[in-house]
Amino acid sequence: MRASVLDYRCRIRIGDVEIEPGDIVFGDIDGVVVIPAAVEQEVVERALVKARTENVVRDAIEGGMSSTEAFSTFGVL
């Protein structure tokens, strides 16, 4: 036998971060984030709003708006 399961659906700790069963672990080239299941809906909604706003900012900058003006107008870059 090459491996055996010691436990599953249990809390784990990586460094100072506790991860509970049901939490979302998301990673990309920039890093890793753990989203607690209790706030998953709010976090996803806020992330989508931020992404949409960032897309509007990108389009404005590509259309000739300066990054300073874009930040003043939209509040994000």
30-to-6, 11, 26, 50, 65 alpha-carbon distances in Å = 31, 25, 11, 17, 27
CA 54 – CA 76 distance, rounded (Å): 7
> What tens-digit pLDDT sequence spans the chain (77 residues)?
788 998 999 999 999 999 999 999 999 999 999 999 999 999 999 999 999 999 999 999 999 999 999 999 988 87
The per-residue pLDDT for 31 is 95
- Token digits of residue 4: 């055996």
The residue behind tokens 């389009």 is 59
